[in-house]
Amino acid sequence: MATSQVETVGSGAEKLKLVVAVLLLLAGLVAFYWLGKQGALAQWGALLAGVAAAVVVFFTAQTGRDLLAFGRDAWREVGKVVWPERKESIQMTAYVFGFVVIMALFLWLTDKTLEWTIFDLILGWRK
């Protein structure tokens, strides 16, 4: 049985950083709508400033640093993937298309056989 490890935000300062990040994001959204009469440039500038400030504060918190570390590790793992050669990709694609065609024919024949059996032989609707 696998145990999952739950990590929570530890210190009060870390929690405060996350709350400030959320408040900055909300402030950017409120400013976007509040500055509606000032023009699109002021609206979008306030929104982008709020989002940028929220992102900066979030990534200074431990949760943000953990997210960045996860992203770096994921990118490192993507670099380890062995991608198939072009010939192998084309062959596998051809196998998939061939299988789809065979299954389509099988299902069509099954449908027509059941249709003939039920409607013609059993019910006698098509004479």
Please indicate, yes or no, whether residues 58 and 74 belong to a single structural domain of this protein.
yes
* Contact criterion met (CB below 8 Å) for 58 and 18: yes
pLDDT value of position 7: 59
Please indicate, yes or no, whether residues 90 and 126 belong to a single structural domain of this protein.
yes
Please indicate, yes or no, whether residues 17 and 75 belong to a single structural domain of this protein.
yes
Identify the DSSP state of 36.
G
The CA distances from residue 93 to 81, 87, 104, 107, in Å, are 19, 10, 16, 21
Both structure tokens of 45:
């500038």
* Contact criterion met (CB below 8 Å) for 87 and 93: no
Please indicate, yes or no, whether residues 73 and 17 belong to a single structural domain of this protein.
yes
Residue 4 in any domain: the answer is no
pLDDT value of position 69: 96
Please indicate, yes or no, whether residues 89 and 121 belong to a single structural domain of this protein.
yes
Please indicate, yes or no, whether residues 120 and 74 belong to a single structural domain of this protein.
no
Please indicate, yes or no, whether residues 16 and 75 belong to a single structural domain of this protein.
yes
d(CA 121, CA 26): 69
Residue 58 in any domain: the answer is yes
Domain span including residue 27? 12-79
Please indicate, yes or no, whether residues 122 and 95 belong to a single structural domain of this protein.
yes
* Direct distance between the N- and C-terminal alpha carbons of the chain, in angstroms, rounded to an integer: 63
Number of domains making up the chain: 2
pLDDT value of position 11: 82
Amino acid (1-letter code) at residue 43: Q
The CA distances from residue 91 to 19, 53, 83, 98, in Å, are 53, 50, 14, 10
**pLDDT values of the chain reduced to their tens digit, one per residue, 127 residues:** 556 666 555 688 899 999 999 999 999 999 999 998 999 999 999 999 999 999 999 999 999 999 999 999 999 999 999 989 999 999 999 999 999 999 999 999 999 999 999 998 888 886 5
Please indicate, yes or no, whether residues 126 and 107 belong to a single structural domain of this protein.
yes
pTM of the model: 0.57
